[in-house]
Amino acid sequence: MSLLQSDTQLNRHSYYEASAQRAAALPALAGSHHADVVVIGGGFAGLCCALDLRKAGYSVALLEADRVGSGASGRNGGQFIVGVASGQAPFEAQGGHAMSRRVWDMSLEAVALLKERVFEHRIVCDLATGYLTVADSPRKVRALQADAEALERDYGFSTRWLQGADLQTQIQSAHYLGATWEPVSGHLHPLKYVLGLLAAAQAAGVQVFEHSAVTGLQRGATVTAQTANGTVRANFAVLAGNCALPEWGPQVAPELSSRIMPVGTYVVGTEPLGDAFAASLLPGNSAVCDNNFAVDYFRRSADQRLLFGGGVSYSTATPRHLSDTMHRRMCRVFPQLAKTRLEYVWGGFVDITMNRAPDFGRIGGNVYYLQGFSGHGVALTGLAGRLVAQAIAGQAERLDVFARMQHRSFPGGRWLRTPSLVLGMAYHQLKDLL
Ligand SMILES: Cc1cc2nc3c(=O)[nH]c(=O)nc-3n(C[C@H](O)[C@H](O)[C@H](O)COP(=O)(O)OP(=O)(O)OC[C@H]3O[C@@H](n4cnc5c(N)ncnc54)[C@H](O)[C@@H]3O)c2cc1C
């Protein structure tokens, strides 16, 4: 099964699609158009970039293959988190502490920017703050404490250590031995947020076309994006298509696709639990994520369901018995939910890089790309979009902090890279279990 089919199929059962209001589809691109910048992809990254470019005075056409927010941005765990998926280690190793410090600071800026955009554009998206990283074994407790100490010592970022009765004030689960809590990160309804960004981009004058998959990109002094029924000629192109870019447009930027790998991750939504029961599970209404290699991540929704994410798959087919598996995972954390029904099950693909560090940069002088958020993109995409907009406006210095990062291709090419990744992942998951 192709990535696109399974993506679409799973999205039908998304709690987010059921609880947000979508307007009618925007028209598909037809005929010849011109713009200063053509943005490919209508997720957080593409929309935030388009919005900033338009505010800076550029004319922008944004082409989305499906509906805006139909990719990872409209179906994720909704957790906006400081830092990057890889942690700081690859940046420390490749660029030293000064580079790593800048990346850390920009990750804080990304979270602040998300809140600022929600506020500025009055996006009603159930935003709440508070973030708990939980550890489920003595080894994971030691690792979490070491990480927290390093963040405080090297980056001045404080978290609160919780265990025993203190931990129970945030989470009613005997599964975890300790946790760090911080008030900067948090959670929101990602589809409401992405639709709010769309409204803001349209109000600013961005031309948005849905059902307009870009199948080819002619490069040169200007670029021309080609869809089934139209073209956009522009001075710059921004590739913000995430894992689906190689699927919709294999010829658009083939040199990029071997550096990311689509990995499936899944989320379930329970039936409404009622205020008191939901609050008893997560009294602080924080978002939660564990520090295992294949993470469990969960939170309360605004209508008091538990949204529980986890599980990974390296095939693009939907795993068999997905609801049962997810229900078991959820009950391992909250046995109180044994009799609770799941009303929604969905999933999507995260674009992981070999070292889990984000992969931003340019091809030639006028094609920019943003990929490799590695499951940690709700906040960072918004800043990445801004960095590209700034680079197009002639200030590339901040984008280049990321663009200097060396990324390796997954060995084995398009079809054979999966087995090597599975082996690597299995090793880490086994280590977590032991
Ligand atoms: C199930 C799940 C849970 C997650 N949970 C979290 C979380 O809790 N916290 C967190 O920080 N991150 C999380 N992530 C990751 C986060 O959602 C992503 O990093 C982020 O949404 C990526 O945004 P994007 O704009 O780069 O890509 P997307 O949102 O995927 O947008 C890309 C868009 O480009 C379009 N496109 C692709 N190719 C073409 C083409 N050729 N022509 C036109 N359009 C094209 C696609 O249709 C898509 O709409 C999760 C991801 C998933 C799937």
**Domains observed in the chain:** 3-76+191-257+355-411 (3.50.50.60)
**pLDDT tens figures, 62-76:** 999 999 999 999 999
Tell me what pLDDT residue 418 has: 57
Which strand (E) or helix (H) includes residue 243? none
Nearest CA to ligand 1 atom 53: 348
Q: DSSP E strands: which ranges in 102-251? A: 128-135, 160-162, 178-187, 207-209, 216-218, 223-226, 230-239
Tell me what pLDDT residue 322 has: 85
Q: What residues contact residue 192 under an 8 Å CB cut-off, 6+ apart?
A: 16, 20, 123, 124, 125, 126
Work out whether the CA dihedral 405, 392, 184, 125 comes out positive or negative.
negative
Query: Above pLDDT 90, what percent of the chain?
Result: 84
Tell me what pLDDT residue 218 has: 97
The pTM assigned to this predicted structure is 0.94
Please name the amino acid found at residue 313. S
SS (H, E, C) 75-104: CCCCEECCCCCCCCHHHHHHHHHHHHHHHH
User: What is the distance in A from the centroid of ligand 1 to the CA of 275?
Assistant: 31
Please name the amino acid found at residue 11. N
**pLDDT tens figures, 81-137:** 999 999 999 999 999 999 999 999 999 999 999 999 999 999 999 999 999 999 999
CA 176/CA 273 separation, integer angstroms: 22
Of the candidates 368, 279, 306, 363, which has an alpha carbon nearest to the alpha carbon of residue 41? 368
CA 178/CA 359 separation, integer angstroms: 32
* Pairing of the two strands 261-270 and 306-313: antiparallel
Distances (CA, A) of 65 to 45, 265, 333, 395, 432: 15, 21, 38, 30, 38
* Contact between 43 and 197 (Cβ < 8 Å): no
Pocket residue to mutate for ligand 1, from 26, 62, 64, 68, most atoms within 8 A of Cβ: 64
DSSP-derived secondary structure letter, 205? T
* Contact between 207 and 22 (Cβ < 8 Å): no
Q: Report how far apart the first and last C-alpha atoms of the chain are (Å, whole number).
A: 33
Tell me what pLDDT residue 419 has: 52
Place of tokens 């031309």: 207
Q: Which residues line ligand 1 (CB under 6 A)?
A: 40-46, 63-66, 70-73, 75-79, 81, 213-214, 240-242, 244-245, 248-249, 252, 265, 267, 297, 309, 347-350, 373, 375-378, 381
Tell me what pLDDT residue 37 has: 98
- List of the chain residues with pLDDT < 50: 1-8, 434
Of the candidates 401, 387, 358, 394, which has an alpha carbon nearest to the alpha carbon of residue 52? 387
Tell me what pLDDT residue 3 has: 47
Q: What is the DSSP string of 117-154?
A: HHHHTT--S--EEEEEEEE-SHHHHHHHHHHHHHHHHH
Of the candidates 253, 222, 352, 205, which has an alpha carbon nearest to the alpha carbon of residue 293? 352
SS (H, E, C) 301-324: CCCCCEEEEEEEECCCCCCCCHHH
CA 146/CA 364 separation, integer angstroms: 41
Please name the amino acid found at residue 43. G
Pocket residue to mutate for ligand 1, from 49, 68, 73, 113, most atoms within 8 A of Cβ: 73
User: What is the distance in A from the centroid of ligand 1 to the CA of 342?
Assistant: 24
Place of tokens 């059921």: 18
Chain-wide mean pLDDT for the chain?
A: 92
CA 222/CA 217 separation, integer angstroms: 10
Nearest CA to ligand 1 atom 33: 41
